[in-house]
Structure 1
Amino acid sequence: MSLTTPARTLLASLALALVGPALAADAIRIRAGTTQDHTDESGVVWLADQGFSGGDTIDRTGLKVAKTSTPSIYTTERYGMGGFSRALANGKYTVKLHFAETYEGIYGKGERVFSFNVEGKEFKDFDVTARAGAVLTAYVETVEVEVTDGKLDITFTSQIENPEINALEIIPAG
């Protein structure tokens, strides 16, 4: 059975009504590269790695990451992935992508460069080390998007080395 767009909209509205406005508006936080939910140094809960297509994960627990009050979210990562997708209610969101260059084989700028696209907003020639200012340094890219098809999509494209990400936040606007 195929649902028409009005039927899908009605079902989504009913689901949000049943869950309640407080839960529907909660941020989704995902810590890449881990199999268990994680509570960071500020007491915020991050869900285990999910929603990514392809790639591998690594845990580098014990590394010291600068320029963050929550270094633990940067010690795991997913790399080499092709994309990320998450079912969401249509609407506006702030998406925060958390990065830190933690691979011991990369020492400086230009050694890992990739592109990513968040709901049509393109980030070309993205260099984590250049953006953060150094390796082992946190950097957050914040993107305002509008979901119109019931899911948030992010694609990653390798240029030099593999794309990587440490964590992701999806925060409903409003």
Structure 2
Amino acid sequence: MSISISRLGLIKVVCIACLPLVAGMASAANNSSVKRINVGGSAFTDSSGQKWLADYGSKGGFKVKNRKLQIKKTNLDRVYQSQRRHKQKDKSFDYVIPVPNGNYSVKLHFAEIENKAFGKGKRIFDIYAEGRKELSGIDVFKQSGSARAAMSRSISYVKVNDGKLNLKFKAKKYAGLVSGIEIKSLQGKNLTGKSVSNSSNSNKTINANTSAAKTKSGTGLKITSQPSNALASPGSTVSLDVGASGSGIKYQWFRQGGTLVKGEKSSRLRFASVQKKDAGKYYCVVRNSNKRLRTKLVNVIVSGTNAAQTSKSATLSWAAPTKRTNGKTLKRSEISEFEIFHGRSASNMSMYDAVDGGKLNHLIKGLSPGNHFFAIQTVDNKGARSNKSKTIKVVVK
């Protein structure tokens, strides 16, 4: 599963390995340590509840906006329908965004919506963060695959010492552009006006006291988080997790039909090297001296098995490649993103979503009845891509 990449050697996608979605992960992406800017556009809240601020912080360039455009490869059309770019004679433009001193990651969004730049090599630019070139040779049309198609690139580490994050978009050919900016504090610092650490500590104290009060009063057992469906290739690691609160808790995992999974008496059911024989539906019985509860039934889906079934959602997870096929190390900081491909047949898949290179899983929702096929592709920070991973088939009934 690799392709030849000039100057960069080869990238190998190691595998698709499945882990359940961590409880609270979806909401974590919208906490106060993340700032999102809808470049060239107005403030809005997207379908995932993430708040995007109106355009601000620009130095130079001009806004371009067309709310009627349909953007491919995304459900965030509004981010890509507007952008900022500079006149060809100006060579560059900047963003200077106030943030607390500290360490950050930056995710930048792009789409080629200008007719003049439709075509490979017609617009090429570099991106600098805090005076250092971080991304080179961005060609939005080429790297996104077509006109009006979304793509993103990430800078995994930027250190800010002067209270301002400086970004420069510098043309090599024609003009630079950007459609959206996401800034994440790697230290959990507040970017929206509320104290992250104080709020977090306060919540922990309240939750701990509440939990203690319930235990003392004998309110009993409660399941706090359900296990998630898992999609896996043979030999990868799969875990199913259940969360529960109460005193004297005991766990036991079962396969559908009541077959006991021997030795699995913790909150986690783990397959160190999942095989086709492990595919099936599982649930956990959680109990104490006062109560007995059962989790929902979830699927472990292993590629190559027949008629794998799942509910309308599942967590797709994978392992980050660590080497190029020429033997050289591939650093996590060199991975820009993972592209997820989906289709109703293995021979006709298109890009479903792009996930930041710092993430290794993605929740797939709203699967309609029938066959679904998924694959992963790795993209490095210079735009080089691997071949797609082996395909996983999911049948929804």
Query: What's the TM-score bracket when you normalise by the shorter of the two chains?
Result: 0.7 to 0.9
The aligned length equals 150
Residue 142 of structure 1 pairs with residue 154 of structure 2? yes
* Equivalent-residue separation in structure 2 for 1:38 and 1:108 (angstroms): 31
Note if contact 2:126-2:133 (Cα within 8 Å) is conserved in structure 1.
no
Deviations 1:35-89 (A, max 9, x none): x312223332211111110111011111111111212110011111511111211
Q: Structure 2 matches for 1:9-158, cutoff 5 A? A: 25-34=32-41, 36-80=42-86, 82-119=93-130, 120-144=132-156, 145-158=158-171
* Equivalent-residue separation in structure 2 for 1:129 and 1:92 (angstroms): 31
Note if contact 2:36-2:182 (Cα within 8 Å) is conserved in structure 1.
yes
* Equivalent-residue separation in structure 2 for 1:106 and 1:150 (angstroms): 35
The offset of 1:25, in angstroms, is: 4.4
* Equivalent-residue separation in structure 2 for 1:123 and 1:94 (angstroms): 13
The offset of 1:121, in angstroms, is: 3.9
- The DSSP-based 3-state class of the residue aligned with 2:56 is coil
Q: Identity of paired residues, percent?
A: 33
Note if contact 1:37-1:45 (Cα within 8 Å) is conserved in structure 2.
yes
Q: Which runs of 4+ in 1 moved over 4 A?
A: none
The offset of 1:125, in angstroms, is: 2.0
Q: Flag the structure with higher helix content.
A: 1
- The DSSP-based 3-state class of the residue aligned with 1:169 is strand
| Structure 2 CA distance for partners of 1:163 and 1:131, relative to 1, 3 Å | same
TM-score, normalising length: structure 2: 0.36
Note if contact 1:42-1:70 (Cα within 8 Å) is conserved in structure 2.
no
Aligned equivalent of 1:166, options 157, 179, 182? 179
User: Partner letter of residue 99 of structure 1?
Assistant: F
User: Partner letter of residue 64 of structure 1?
Assistant: Q
- The DSSP-based 3-state class of the residue aligned with 1:63 is coil
The offset of 1:130, in angstroms, is: 1.9
* Equivalent-residue separation in structure 1 for 2:94 and 2:117 (angstroms): 23
- The DSSP-based 3-state class of the residue aligned with 1:73 is helix
User: Partner letter of residue 33 of structure 2?
Assistant: D
Higher relative contact order, structure no. (Cα contacts within 8 Å, ≥ 6 residues apart): 1
For structure 2, list consecutive stretches of 5 or more residues without a partner in the other structure.
Answer: 1-30, 87-91, 188-397
Cα RMSD for the two superposed structures: 1.7
* Equivalent-residue separation in structure 2 for 1:151 and 1:74 (angstroms): 25
User: Partner letter of residue 161 of structure 2?
Assistant: T
Note if contact 2:37-2:52 (Cα within 8 Å) is conserved in structure 1.
yes
- The DSSP-based 3-state class of the residue aligned with 1:152 is strand
For structure 1, list consecutive stretches of 5 or more residues without a partner in the other structure.
Answer: 1-23
Note if contact 1:40-1:73 (Cα within 8 Å) is conserved in structure 2.
no
* Equivalent-residue separation in structure 1 for 2:76 and 2:162 (angstroms): 33
